[in-house]
Structure 1
Amino acid sequence: MRGAGLRGSSWRVLAYLYREDGLSQTELAQLLELTRAGVGQILDQLEAAGHIERRRDVSDARRRRVFLSARMHAEVAPLLNMVREFEDELSVAFSDDEIEALRSLLDRLRERAAIMISESADAS
């Protein structure tokens, strides 16, 4: 993705928008497991680069929705294919059972991190 000028979180924003254009900043923050402020900074960079557009929500003028630019919409599909090919090459090193075990462990880590973040916010 670096060849395309994208970093991890930026790339993930574009991938989510490719799958479901028009998400809100809050929805993206939840999907990315980042703060709204952190996502806001990523969106600022993507907007400055012409990768995304922010538009007012027609049903709630206080909310803004995020959309891929027309140019980026055409460019994301080939990038997704590159990612899938890379993941396929990586997964050759593991059996299907090992991949499933790894996914399960990562899910447990993600859940634990979310609990710790929630507890930390409650204590503040």
Structure 2
Amino acid sequence: MEKTEDISFGYLLNDVTLLFRKHFDRRAVKFGLTRAQWRATKMLYHREGLRQTELAEYLEMEPIAVGRVIDRLQSAGFVERRPDPKDRRAWRLHTTEQARGVIADMEDIARGLRRDATQGIERTELEQCLAVLNRIKDNLQALDQQAVNAQED
């Protein structure tokens, strides 16, 4: 019997991710937002006033990469930086009226893509798949923590 470690799935996960991104970007192009920009906008919409470093943590991205995303969103009129009233050196991020105007449409695009991607898949199957993927993610994050702990010792 084959062991779980003998089943290769990394390339499949990568392929699914790339295809999901490609199809989302195709559908969302009319709004001028990439998937990364959409994720940041949606996060800020639900958590107005985050600092850039906090947003990076939520998105599980490097702060410098998030900074580039925010720069583009600000240039496009979707996000604005406002001074932090408690820290003169810091900025708080807020969505603009323009961003709030496309949130529902972007969520419809995401919902439609999820519907198309899960065609023929029962809800219980998807829930089981997500549970397994979350356990894999937890295992990989534990490896990260072990590496950090080893460096500190």
Matched position secondary structure for 1:6: coil
Q: In structure 2, how many angstroms separate the alpha carbons of the residues matched to 1:35 and 1:99?
A: 29
Q: Which has the larger radius of gyration?
A: 2
Matched position secondary structure for 1:23: coil
TM-score with structure 1 length normalisation? 0.83
Post-superposition offset of 1:82: 2.1
- Compared with structure 1, are the counterparts of its residues 114 and 29 closer, same or farther at alpha carbon in structure 2 (3 Å cutoff)? farther
TM-score with structure 2 length normalisation? 0.69
Give the structure 2 partner of residue 37 of structure 1: 64
Post-superposition offset of 1:60: 2.4
Matched position secondary structure for 1:89: helix
Q: In structure 1, how many angstroms separate the alpha carbons of the residues matched to 2:141 and 2:83?
A: 30
Q: In structure 2, how many angstroms separate the alpha carbons of the residues matched to 1:51 and 1:64?
A: 16
Q: In structure 2, how many angstroms separate the alpha carbons of the residues matched to 1:109 and 1:71?
A: 38
- 2:64 matches 1:64: no
Aligned residues: 124
The CA RMSD measured in Å over matched residues stands at 2.1
- 2:78 matches 1:51: yes
Contact 1:9/1:32 (CA < 8 Å) preserved in 2?
no
Contact 1:10/1:46 (CA < 8 Å) preserved in 2?
yes
Post-superposition offset of 1:93: 2.2
Post-superposition offset of 1:13: 0.4
Paired amino acid for 1:109: I
CA displacement, residues 33-75 of structure 1 (integer Å, 9 cap, x when unaligned): 1111111111111111111101111122232111111111111
- Compared with structure 1, are the counterparts of its residues 2 and 109 closer, same or farther at alpha carbon in structure 2 (3 Å cutoff)? farther
- Compared with structure 1, are the counterparts of its residues 20 and 29 closer, same or farther at alpha carbon in structure 2 (3 Å cutoff)? same
Unaligned ranges ≥5, structure 1: none
- Compared with structure 1, are the counterparts of its residues 26 and 112 closer, same or farther at alpha carbon in structure 2 (3 Å cutoff)? farther
Q: In structure 1, how many angstroms separate the alpha carbons of the residues matched to 2:145 and 2:67?
A: 20
Give the structure 2 partner of residue 5 of structure 1: 32
Matched position secondary structure for 1:14: helix
